[in-house]
Structure formats: C-alpha cells, structure tokens
Amino acid sequence: MLFRAAHGDDDTDARPEHLLGMPALARYVVGFGVEGDLGIVAEAPEGPVGAAWVRLLAGNARGYGWVADDTPELAIGVVRGYVGRGVGTRLMSELLARARGRFPALSLSVRRENPARRLYLRLGFVPHAEVVNRVGGLSDTMVLRFA
C-alpha cells in the first residue's frame, strides 16, 4: 500500500520495489510493528484493497508529514479499483478511533491536487505547513489534534 500512498502508478520509477529502496519512503513501512505503530487493512474477497497506518517518525527518521516527535505520521493507500468507493473513509474513521486516546495528534502530508485532501479536511485535519514535495510540487502538512 506504500506504492499507492506514494502515488504509485505504472511508471517504472514507482514500482513497489523501487519505493522500498528509497529511505524517505521505506521508513513508513520497513520494520513496521514496533512501539508507536498502528495500522488497519481493508480486505475484499480478492485480498487487501487498502491500508491506513501511523508511525512515530522522529529525529533523523522524520517523514514528510512530521510536526513533532510525539505525533505519528499517517499514510493511507487504496488500490485503484477501490478508490472512490468509501474504502479510504472507512479506513480513516477506524484508524482515528483507534488512535484517539493513544496519541495527542496525528499528522500527514498530502499533495495539493490529491482529492483525498478533502477527506482529511472533512475528518478534522487542518493545514499546518506548506512544503515542496519530493517531485517538486506543493504539499500540505496537516494535523488532527485530539481533544
């Protein structure tokens, strides 16, 4: 799902094995399951169709959506045939419910043109900072603070 979260498509530069060779992206998944990691997977009869997860990425391991060392960064990916069918909303809602009370906030980075940005706003994420992303476009770092 890192492939989908990083806007993977049919480009040879965006194959999953290529993304795992990029430390800035691989840190979101390699070694997943340590303290501070939390994730869920959406499944259909044919197998996994989406995943949403958070990781505490601090110090030199900071990710694209870093705001504080105690705030995990969120990533989400939905396979192409399931985009626009509510899978992302269900994944996000469940992940937020599980993260509430466990973390003070969650953060993420989203490209400005990504339609998922509207979902994040609807769920309560607010823009925190504007950044130039890894492909030279604009992204927003967004934060959802739990009450």
- The continuous run of DSSP H or E covering 90 comes out as helix 87-99
| Residue 34 DSSP one-character state | S
Residue 39 dihedral angles phi and psi, to the nearest 5°: -160, 160
Interval 11-48: pLDDT, tens: 445 566 777 777 878 888 888 889 989 999 999 999 99
How does DSSP classify residue 37? Answer: -
User: What are the residue ranges spanned by the domains of the chain?
Assistant: 34-145
Taking every pair of Cα atoms in the chain, the longest distance, rounded to a whole number of angstroms, is: 43
Residue 102 makes CB contacts below 8 A (sequence gap 6+) with 38
Q: Check residue 12 and give its pLDDT.
A: 47
> To which CATH superfamily is domain 34-145 assigned?
Gcn5-related N-acetyltransferase (GNAT) (3.40.630.30)
pLDDT of residue 11: 47
What pLDDT, on the 0 to 100 scale, is given for residue 136?
85
Half-sphere exposure of 120 (CA within 13 A, CB side): 26
pLDDT 10s per residue in the chain (147 long)? 665 666 555 444 556 677 777 787 888 888 888 998 999 999 999 999 999 999 999 888 898 899 999 999 999 989 888 989 999 999 999 999 999 999 999 999 999 988 899 999 999 999 999 998 878 889 999 999 998
Q: Which residues contact 83 (CB under 8 A, 6 or more apart)?
A: none
Provide the pLDDT for residue 110: 93
